[in-house]
Structure 1
């Protein structure tokens, strides 16, 4: 389904429940009533065209094209990504850690795999938080600085010299994704089933959902944000050489 502004927002969610995460990152609350996508966006001060680009890209990877995002301010993309970060750090990952901890009361007290799992996941959390800190402390400010220079029609500023290009910044994504894949493998292969198997299945489902969400998030960064930034870098370098 191609999402358009005339579709009811509730129908969008019912067709693809994963889009609820996208709506949340635009800080749009539930309670859509019978309102269309345009009506919901307008009542929440969200640009409907930008929302449709993100939602359709999330819903259908064939729709993802960085050139379609060129007409939108890069700040909008960064705000969307930051809101996703908050969801991961403040809710999704702590919730998974809480579920893993609950297994300590569900299995044999001498079972070592639980401790290994917790240690592995805490290592993942540390790596993930470091990745987010790198993006929000270095990458996003770097992009916004580039954007200011583009708007000012300026040549490459001295303050950008010595900084890494966007190509060097984005290399950590694969490591983050591979670690989460390893965590799933450990769970499926080695974690002893708890007394309540539903708890175990919920954990597996939550990790799979997190993995898909992170992959979608990474695709927005790698296939939309980073190509836009490379073009900005090329423009500034071209201005410098003129």
Structure 2
């Protein structure tokens, strides 16, 4: 009997390299598709390798490989040497593009579909769901805007050898409060307390919420295991 489970992606057991074909990585683990898009690498690359595409589009190969391997390999633990080899501009470009993906595309699209799905439910319930979603999005905006306006400029100054005596990456870590928990609450609200008639439209939106929850967790993971340790490394160099 044929199984559909291969369509969910394969479990990579060894790190990919600059010689790996990009198409093989994406078909094997779809999460890599979002990563290369955020690095500005478009589709239609045929059988080109990761190294070839990074060279073609001006992406630091080691940084992209570190993000891909950290995302597709269970238990992958970047070494100190790998963290130190990160190209800051490439990493910040990736993180900034991730912010734009969530704030300008993914979350507005989910909101649009959510409002359509609950348009026939009681007005009071629709109001609560809409308010809860909008408050969640506002928290995401605050979190990501703080990174764009405070954390990333600090990182660039640090890389240039300018130490800020009034700021350190530990402040960011304390503010980095796992924003994906908010969307988990929205998901639970719909599953447990949405009593109006529902159908494919609402369950499709709920599936989107599950998906973006995973995307946000992956985004935060990259910040926790790669970006923050790299900034700590820079701080130690300028101490």
TM-score tier (shorter): 0.7 to 0.9
CA distance in 2, matches of 1:143, 1:49: 19
- In 2, Cα distance between the equivalents of 1:200 and 1:39? 42
Structure 1 unpaired stretches of 5+: 151-155, 238-242
What's the counterpart of residue 219 of structure 1?
221
Larger Cα-atom Rg: 1
CA spacing shift, 1:120–1:18, aligned 2, 3 Å? same
Equivalent residue number for residue 8 of structure 2:
none
Deviation at 1:213, TM superposition (A): 1.3
1:121 is matched with which residue? 133
Quick one: distance in 1 between partners of 2:45 and 2:200?
A: 32
Q: Quote the residue 1:98 is aligned against.
A: 112
Change (3 A) 1:235 1:10: closer
Change over 3 Å in CA distance of 1:11–1:71 after alignment to 2: same
Which residue matches 2:20?
7
More helix by share: 1
Q: Using CA pairs below 8 Å that are at least 6 residues apart, which structure has the higher relative contact order?
A: 1
| 1:26 matched to 2:39 | yes
Distance 1:61 1:165, change over 3 A: farther
1:179 and 2:182 aligned? yes
1:6-30 deviations in Å (ceiling 9; x for gaps): 3322221111112110011111111
Alignment equivalent of 1:199, drawn from 201, 217, 224 = 201
TM-score, normalising length from structure 1? 0.85
* Range that drifts further, 124-133 or 56-65: 56-65
* Count of matched residue positions in the alignment of Structure 1 and Structure 2: 225
Q: Which runs of 5+ in 2 are unaligned?
A: 1-11
| Secondary structure of residue in 2 paired with 1:149 | coil
Decide whether aligned partners of structure 1 residues 229 and 46 sit closer, same or farther in structure 2, where only a CA change above 3 A counts: closer
